[in-house]
Amino acid sequence: MQGEPVNSFPRLAPEAERGEVRRITVVGEEILHRRCREVTEFGSPELAKLIDDMFATNQVAEGAGLAANQVDVDLQLFVWDITDDWGVRHVGHIANPVLDEVPAEHRRLVEEPEGCLSVPGPYRVVPRLDRAVVRGRDKDGDPLVIEGRGYFARCLQHETDHLRGHLYVDRLAQRERKAALREMRDTQDEVFARRAAVARQLGK
The amino acid occupying position 6 is V
- Residue 33 marked in a binding site: no
Per DSSP, the three-state class of 199 is helix
Q: What is the distance between the alpha carbons of residues 9 and 22, in angstroms, rounded to a whole number?
A: 24
DSSP 8-class letter at 57: H
b (16+ CB within 10 A) / e for 32-67: beeebeebeeeeeeebbebbbbbbbbbbbbebbbbb
Q: What is the distance between the alpha carbons of residues 47 and 139, in angstroms, rounded to a whole number?
A: 7
CB atoms near residue 140 (< 10 Å): 11
- Residue 155 marked in a binding site: no
Clarify whether 159 is annotated catalytic.
yes
Is the distance from CB of 81 to CB of 45 less than 8 angstroms? no
Angle at CA 139, nearest 5°, toward 58 and 10?
45
- Residue 90 marked in a binding site: no
Closest CA to 51 of 29, 23, 31, 80: 80
Which listed residue (29, 159, 176, 183) is catalytic?
Answer: 159
The catalytic site residues sit at: 159
Binding residues, as ranges, are: 116, 158, 162
Binding residues for Fe cation, as ranges, are: 116, 158, 162
